[in-house]
Structure 1
Amino acid sequence: MDAQTDIERIWQLTKAIEQAAAVDEWERAAQLVDERSPLLMALGAQQPPVVIAQLKEIQAIDARVSAAAQDAQKALGEEYQAAMLATRNASQYQRIAQF
């Protein structure tokens, strides 16, 4: 494949990653990143300006998706902690109620 075909496929995958992240499909986003990574690594250092510009857009999207992933991880961690606390409270209630 030529550089233009590669960058078009990379762009399609990036937009699919962005969409998966937008609907909290993090497993799908990770699969797409795994598919895209070899294509990015295969790009040569010397690229035409149009490809460089598109790569900068891809980097910006990746930064937004990464920030969203961090936010989602934090929210899930907080939900997990709340669920663990609720479980401990329910367990404590059951122990006390048995007396």
Structure 2
Amino acid sequence: MGLVIKAALGALVVLLIGVLAKTKNYYIAGLIPLFPTFALIAHYIVASERGIEALRATIIFSMWSIIPYFVYLVSLWYFTGMMRLPAAFVGSV
């Protein structure tokens, strides 16, 4: 049953992103994945199955993921100014 709830939550987030992308405040859709919805689920699962020490290690690892995400955003911003969108996506990954 827990898997169904997690899948439903993920589907709701995707729908929210789709709806917000069509509004005049479309840029908010880019912020939705940054909210800790999925992180909360992942952290709860790690803590309940592996313990607090594993959770703390996961948190440190997650902090380091901010750096490549920032690099991705900077490169996507740069490439969208000089390439077509599909090429910009490929170039920024």
TM range (shorter): 0.3 to 0.5
In the superposition, the TM-score normalised over structure 2's length comes to 0.37
In the superposition, the TM-score normalised over structure 1's length comes to 0.35
Bigger Rg over Cα? 1
